[in-house]
Each structure stands twice: as structure tokens, then as C-alpha cells.
Chain A
């Protein structure tokens, strides 16, 4: 691992100044479970590593009447074991607890999982289905970007070098029912071969998938097809076919393109069948 300057700001303002003063050569250190591996393997060699864990106020899950906000440094275990999340948004809790091992989740954060922008980020699909917003702090203060617009490509987001994500929030929807599915070779401590969240709110459906495109994606065409329809076996079959055609997976070490495509149909069929 190459050496670097280690800085530990205690306010967002200070963090922003560090980002500005080092002109894009800063890696933000949150849980570090991904960054440290990348630095060791030489994929990342920042001049400055900025540890944001001492910035106060970022480690809270804030539950307001109409919104829930997950702070940037909230651990995956704290999210997955949070009573409100477990009760009202169990699919988000399951996704959080499906990442890595207990030890990894004691360090890794939900926001880090999102900012890494891996195509198979497990917490991305429930948050996409919840229409979550990403809160970004920069020179003009806080701005909000819908999560679906946050991801750009594999490991690429719209985040600029002088910006920092302070948290992710979503509108409370107590009516929403969601089903998170993760398909992996091993039950625990594995990466998703494919993953998805299927959500039903009223007669609307939201479907998001991971590891089937360069970024986690929503299947808007399939959603539009399902919108307002009464679920029947035929409707479900048609939706599954649409969904399989809407994703653009690749073949890699974990699965073939064809397998992933088929599993998108399987995951959707199983989820929708719960609401027949």
C-alpha cells in the first residue's frame, strides 16, 4: 500500500475544505472495507485519505413522520438491526444484513455500499425501490439527487471530487410491501450473483435489480406494464418475460448472462406470486 496523508475532519465544512485543497486526490474513508482492499491491491492510490467517522451527526438513522434518513456513517449492522427498519422496511434490513460477514457489517456502511456503485450493491435495490434520495454536500450547500440518477456506471456516480454524501433518505410508505431476494453461491458472506427488490404499493409496482447491468437498475418498462393491473398467472408470466428482456447482464466468474437473465424472471415470478 502506498503511503498517504491521513486526515480526520470533525465537521462537514472542514471535510469540504480538505476535498477542495487536494483537488480530486482524496479518498473518503468511511467503513473502509472496500477502500483498504483496493488500496492494498494498488487499484487506488490517493494522496489523502479522509476519515469521515468523526464528523458528528452522520451516524444516525433519523425517523421523521414522513421520511427516514440514513446518515453517511450508519453501519450496515445498525441499519439492519434497527427496530423501525426491521418492522416497516424488512426488505431493506435483509439487504443490509446480507452484505459480507458480521465483522464486515460492523464496519461497512450503507452509504459506502451505495457510493462504491458496484452493480451488485445489495442495499441499492431496496433503496431504489423506495425512490430514495441521495443528499450531497458541496460548495453550494446540500443538494438532493434521486438514487436512480446517482449511479452512472460500474463504480461511477455523479458525485464530484468536491462533494460528499451526507446521507440517503426516503419517504415513509407504510403501505408498501417489499421482497428482497439475493441469489448467491453461499448463504452467508458472498456477493450477489443477482439480487432484486420487488415492491408493491397500492396497485403500483416497483422492481429493481442488481448485477444485471453496469449499475443497479429499476425496470421501469415492466413496472409500467404491471401498473394498475390485477395480478394473474398470465400477467405475471408476461411481466417476467418483459423483465428478462429489460436487463442487460454480462457473463462473469459468478454466472452467465443467460442465467442472470433467467433469474430476473424467477425472482420476479416468486415475488409477485406472493401477492396473487
Chain B
């Protein structure tokens, strides 16, 4: 069974006829070819599929595609504006805050939503904030530093 939905994806209004049992993550990756968000655990523990829906960071693997109807969704691909990377993306590159890269889109989207809510997090708040995102290369130190750099820019 399928349902017709309409939503805003990275600033563009889109329509899609989706299978009711399709997850939001599958739709984004396979129907819209936006493969930044990854499926890791499929159960809300690893955060690799984190995207922003109506301003909130969510695990796209735990949302049905049909539930996206009427929402505004931002994926990692939507952070690039006019060819310019988001400050978080720049900081992750500058601070070498990635190894294999699998967790990176989820980490950055979680950090993006966190900084929108709290532009000046402490290191502890950053650690807590990304606790729903696992990095199996265990490169957390660099990730925290990269987010801290952007948080400090917000202060300036």
C-alpha cells in the first residue's frame, strides 16, 4: 500500500508516492538519492541516520516515510548553501574529526540541531549532546573539538 506525501526537503517542496512500510531513511537514500544519512543499527542507538525534521534531530530509521508529510526536513546535503559548506562541515575537515566517515553526517546533524538550541554549549554539554551518536573509530576527541570550535565562533 502506498501514500502520496508532500514535504520540504533541503528547502525544496517535493512530492513522493511512498510504500507505507518504507522508513524515512530508506526514502531519503533510495528515492531521493541523498546517501549522507546512513543506516547503522536500525534501532535508534547509533545515530548514523540523524536528520533534522521541523528543527529537531531525529533518527530517520525510526520514522515512517509517510510521517514526513507536511514536515520540513534537512539532511547533511542541505547544509551546503550556494556551494559553501556549513561551519560545522568546515570545522570537521579542519580538525580532522573523521576517520572512516560513516558516523560523520549523523554527528554533524546532531551538532547542528544542538547548536541551534544552545549556541554556547560547554564541553560536557557537547559530550552529552552527541551521546546518541556512536563513532566506531572512537574518534570522539576530535569530534568534540570540532564542535567546540564552531561553538566558540558563535561566541565571538
Contact = CB atoms under 8 A, between A and B. Distances in A.
A and B are partners in one complex rather than unrelated chains: yes
Interface of A: 1-6, 29, 32-33, 36-37, 39-40, 49, 51, 53, 100-104, 106-107, 187-189
Interface stretch (B90-98, B126-134, B143-151): B126-134
Contacts of B3: 6
B20 A101 contact: no
Interface string B1-14: 10100000000000
Interface in B54-108: 56-59, 61-64, 66-67
Given A37-B42, A189-B132, A107 B62 contact: yes
A15 B62 CA distance: 22
Given A6-B66, A36-B23, A103 B43 contact: no
Given A101-B44, A106-B56, A3 B50 contact: no
Given A3-B21, A5-B1, A106-B58, A29 B64 contact: yes
Contacts of B44: 33, 37, 100-101, 103-104
Nearest to B26: A1
Interface of B: 1, 3, 19-21, 23, 42-45, 47, 50, 56-59, 61-64, 66-67, 110, 114, 128-129, 131-133
Find the residue from B19, B43, B61 having the highest chain A CB count within 10 A.
B43
A188 B3 CA distance: 36
A100 B110 CA distance: 14
Contact of A37 (B21, B62, B66, B114): B62
Which A-B residue pairs are the 9 nearest by beta carbons? Answer: A101-B132, A188-B131, A1-B21, A106-B56, A6-B20, A103-B59, A104-B44, A33-B62, A3-B21
Contact of A49 (B20, B59, B129): B20
26 contacts: A4-B1, A4-B21, A6-B3, A6-B64, A29-B64, A32-B63, A33-B44, A36-B64, A37-B42, A101-B47, A102-B57, A102-B114, A102-B131, A103-B44, A103-B50, A103-B57, A103-B58, A103-B110, A104-B44, A104-B59, A104-B132, A106-B58, A107-B62, A188-B128, A189-B131, A189-B132
Contacts of B62: 32-33, 36-37, 104, 107
B128 A103 contact: no
A103 to B, nearest CB: 5
A107 B19 contact: no
A104 B44 CA distance: 6
A210 to B, nearest CB: 19
Contacts of A32: 62-64, 67
B122 to A, nearest CB: 16
Given A3-B19, A6-B1, A103 B66 contact: no
A101 to B, nearest CB: 2
Contact of B129 (A51, A102, A104, A106): A102
Given A104-B44, A188-B132, 14 more contacts: A5-B1, A6-B1, A6-B64, A6-B66, A36-B23, A39-B21, A100-B44, A101-B131, A103-B44, A103-B47, A103-B50, A104-B59, A106-B56, A188-B131
Contacts of A100: 44, 132
Contact of A107 (B45, B63, B128): B63
A2 B57 CA distance: 27
A37 B20 CA distance: 15
Nearest to B42: A40
A202 to B, nearest CB: 35
A110 B16 CA distance: 31
A17 B19 CA distance: 24
B72 to A, nearest CB: 14
